[in-house]
Chains A and B, each alone.
Chain A
Amino acid sequence: MKPAGLHLIVRLAGERVALAAADVDSVIEIDALTPVPGTPDHVAGLAALRSRVLTVIDGRVALGLPPTGVAPAPEAVLLSHEGHCYALLVDAVEDAIEIEGPLEPLRAQPASAWVRVARGIVAHNRTAMLVIAPGPLVAGTDGQGQDGVNPALTPLL
């Protein structure tokens, strides 16, 4: 099987999850946020990165969880999705690691909030980790809806 390759490990809503390196531009620090009235709650605001304007996504809220309630985390993961730049607020950025094993479909049902954003599962040091996809995070809970069918789950259904 094809190795899943390089992944960035972050802590999001208390869970260790992985982001494929192909989805990640860099890890940045967010300072000032410009709020965007009228957007869904998971859009924390806009931030500037040099001459780029980033849309900042609160990862917890995008999962349908209550916001962390503290000031925006200093670290955020810069994601490119469909030609736009997003900064995903996470609890912490842990490590970048090469995953030897393949990306596998979900076999166990994770906590429902994660189902929507999971792309699959990888194993590292015998621990299974969810690989999350930028698309559904960016769309938030309003995007696909909690009941949407995740392609990663089709093998289970």
Chain B
Amino acid sequence: MSEFLAETREMLDAIAGEIVAWEADPKDRARLDAIFRFVHTVKGSCGFLDLPRLARLSHAAEDVLAEVRAGRRMPDPQLVSGVLAVVDRIGEIVSAIGSGESLDDKEDHKLVAALERGAAEPLPIPVASGRRGPARSIRLPIELLDRLMSGVSDMVLARNELARELREAGRHAAVDAAFERLSVTVGDLRDAISRTRMQRLDQLFAALPRMVRDLASELGRDVVLELEGGDVELDREMIEAIRDPITHIIRNAVDHGIEPPARRRARGKPVAGTLRIGARQSGNQIVIDASDDGAGIDADRVAARAVECGLIPAAQATMLSADRKLDLIFQPGLSTARAVTEVSGRGVGMDVVRANLERIGGVVEVHSTLGAGTRLTLRVPLTLTIMPALTVTIAGQRFAIPRIAIEEIVRIGGRGQIETIAGGTAAIVRGRRMPFVDGASLLGAGTDEAADILVVLRFGSGVFALAVTAAHDHEELVVKAAAPVVMATGLYAGTTLPDSGRPMLLLDPAGIAAAAGVSTVAAADEPVPEELGASVPLVPTLLFRDLDGAERAVRVSIVERIDDVAADAVCAAAGQSRIELGGRLLPLLSAAPLPERKRLRMLRLGDGVASLAYAIDHVVDIMPLGPPAGTAGEPGPIAGVLLVDGRQVELLDAHWHFAEAARFATADARAPLCLLGDPHDRWTRDILAPLVEAAGYRIAFAGDPIDEVPAVQIAQGVETTMPAGAPVVRLRVDPVAYTDGEASIYRYDRHAILAALRTHRAAAEAA
């Protein structure tokens, strides 16, 4: 019996899309056949199981559909609606049986009667037949899969422990080889079992056509639904977790987004609105876009509502960018819909959508163009159980933080600062002031003086800076729910068991923000105006004379340092310039060609991850300045114009410059290969290799399989094992050169080593 119910439910899901497609094109024989098969199967099963009501309904539907199949009756809208109603009722009855409830059967007769009424006009229907092959799948209880998964997890841990023991016990070639084989098998097995948890998004998409059809007819809209990416696979728990948010977004789109046909016509749009749901995999995330070509969201009205509701002060509202205003729709208690409708209520619920997604480590963003449409982008991790995370130390204990919540990591005194205003503490990270949360005191461990790392965490639509003692590795962690008594603290999202074998807690950024009393609005990721007065925030800004003679400015927060560099540190290749600064090869940008000088002045700019060099003529001044008076219309090197003592000074667009530099980095993917010596030599591996890598080379060691000729190789002393074919840079241990033999460089003469590499690199790229 339970199998019948499960099977029927599954068929109902699968058939929902077919029914709508059949309604759109009643001549589609394949759809008709599919629906016929469904009612036929239900009827057959009912006979066995003694379910007279289901049998009566399915029999009636089967009769009508058989007539349509035989061409004796035309599938008019009335007939289609009748069949839909019967299919729906079958679903209701099945649910009622499943939950042991009873369902009134008075309506059944009406449904059956509705099928019989109506004129039956003969209409020839082309004969076609489609038959499905036998399904090569079986049904398994989910508990069994979970047990398999936990068994495999145990195996992986046992393998890791064994690996540790083997390392300590010394090497045995035979044991090592066998262990290696076991290890690979266990890894494959884990991947395979993980995949059993994956389901296609079709599971979710199948129900959407019917839902949109029902919504559209209820609301008097004309909506074309386009689905894409149904073959994308997602953890089944994740599919369940995004079902409600997606449903909600679709309701909103049909109800508030897509205009009624008359209004669309008046606006010169196609009468039928388009709602497009597309899914794709991007790294270990799934990105789901829901876009409509409806009325769009009026950002100013959202902001005005937020002020009315007391969510933000009016002064702040005027400073928000359009995107940030739109973001306010995710604030609890905000409604912009003029009318309360039955379908999506007051338009509340976007806060719930965001909260639901954040609970599973996802994010949601909104973009909208007034009059042209709205796009909501959901990003969720592939599985609930495996989460990319950063491990940090707080007050001597290790914790994990979901990577998706991390915006950046800075050092206090570096790009991060702490300031105390009126007894409260705030962090300033690259010109943005944000709430500061001390990890140690939050976790009741007093204050930790050594906590000088700020992890900037996103939660809701805000950010805050969490002070930690150290940041360690990025890891993929298997996350499990913690016991209720642990979850009740609100600080943790779950527990995980890293390879160390000691349990670790996964911190919940939203929970930490709540526990520390950080409010979303206060944490809004925007320069916040001073509490008193209407003064605009002043940010320390560096003024300089650019190479083209113009006076320009850049925010001090992104300036890492100002360097005077010898002109020969610049190397140009493939139309891009780079400069060697402090042992690193950085992209070099400038407003004009570099002057013919022996020494150049560089601003080194950093975004927390990447750095770039910007060549200037000289520094003019550093002074606190407000936001640009005018903003540049087109994206380009200039963000806008600042007014400084009546002069107009152009402010560099940091984003544009880092984006330019990032294009260099992409070009670096084919960085030249440098072959080093013995990988077991500690000096080569730990001292030389990082230097060479920082200079922009890929590294290979002697004995590594390589399938290209290295651009250069570095040999030590009189090492003769180096293969021929690439120029050799020879290093020596002794500061004093050998009197005989080849030319060599003292191995701690960094400048000479880098200069030699640069020469070879230029030669290789010229070739």
Interface residues of A (CB under 8 A from B): 32, 34-40, 43, 46-48, 50-53, 55, 82, 84-86, 138-140
Contact = CB atoms under 8 A, between A and B. Distances in A.
Contacts of A46: 482, 486, 495, 503, 505
A40 B485 contact: yes
Q: Is the interface of B mostly helix, strand, loop or mixed?
A: mixed
Given A37-B444, A38-B443, A38-B491, A32 B502 contact: yes
B574 to A, nearest CB: 50
B485 A51 contact: no
A55 B482 contact: yes
Interface in B143-181: 150, 153-154, 156-158
Given A82-B484, A139-B485, A53 B497 contact: yes
Interface string B485-502: 110111110011100011
Contact of B495 (A37, A53, A82, A138): A53
Nearest to A57: B485
Given A50-B157, A51-B153, A55-B483, 13 more contacts: A36-B486, A37-B443, A38-B443, A38-B489, A38-B515, A39-B489, A46-B482, A51-B150, A51-B497, A53-B497, A82-B484, A84-B481, A86-B483
Closest 9 CB pairs of A and B: A37-B443, A38-B489, A46-B503, A51-B153, A55-B483, A84-B483, A53-B495, A51-B154, A53-B503
A39 B157 contact: no
Interface in B251-286: none
B450 interface: no
Nearest to B491: A38
B480 interface: yes
A46 B492 CA distance: 13
Q: Is the interface of A mostly helix, strand, loop or mixed?
A: mixed
B397 A55 contact: no
Contact of A37 (B154, B445, B490): B445
A84 B484 contact: yes
B150 to A, nearest CB: 6
A82 B484 CA distance: 9
A107 B454 CA distance: 59
Contacts of A34: 397, 502-505
Nearest to B395: A37
A43 B444 CA distance: 15
Contacts of B482: 46, 53, 55
Contacts of A140: 485
10 contacts: A37-B443, A38-B490, A38-B515, A39-B486, A40-B485, A53-B497, A55-B483, A82-B484, A84-B481, A86-B483
Interface string B174-197: 000000000000000000000000
B422 to A, nearest CB: 28
Contacts of A52: 150
Contacts of B444: 37-38
A47 B157 contact: no
Contacts of B483: 55, 84-86, 138
A39 B490 CA distance: 10
A25 B502 CA distance: 21
Nearest to A143: B485
Contacts of B492: 36
**Residue of B158, B492, B495, B501 most packed against chain A (CB within 10 A):** B495
A36 B489 contact: yes
A51 B146 CA distance: 13
A39 B496 CA distance: 17
Given A34-B397, A36-B505, A37-B443, A138 B485 contact: yes
Given A46-B505, A48-B502, A35 B486 contact: no
Nearest to A47: B503
B753 to A, nearest CB: 45
B485 A55 contact: yes
Contacts of B501: 48
A34 B481 CA distance: 16
A139 B153 CA distance: 29
Contacts of B515: 38
Given A37-B445, A38-B443, A50-B157, A55 B486 contact: yes
A88 to B, nearest CB: 12
Nearest to B399: A37
B214 to A, nearest CB: 36
A50 B486 contact: no
B503 A50 contact: no
A39 B485 CA distance: 7
B438 to A, nearest CB: 13
B496 to A, nearest CB: 8
Contacts of B480: 53
Contacts of A50: 154, 157-158
Contacts of B157: 50-51
A90 B559 CA distance: 59
**Residue of A46, A51, A86 most packed against chain B (CB within 10 A):** A51
A149 B490 CA distance: 27
Contacts of B443: 37-38
A35 B486 CA distance: 11
A53 B502 CA distance: 9
Contacts of A84: 481, 483-484
Nearest to B445: A37
A34 B150 CA distance: 21
Nearest to A40: B485
A128 B157 CA distance: 44
A139 B491 CA distance: 18
Nearest to B489: A38
A54 B486 CA distance: 11
Nearest to A46: B503
A17 to B, nearest CB: 21
Contacts of B489: 36-39
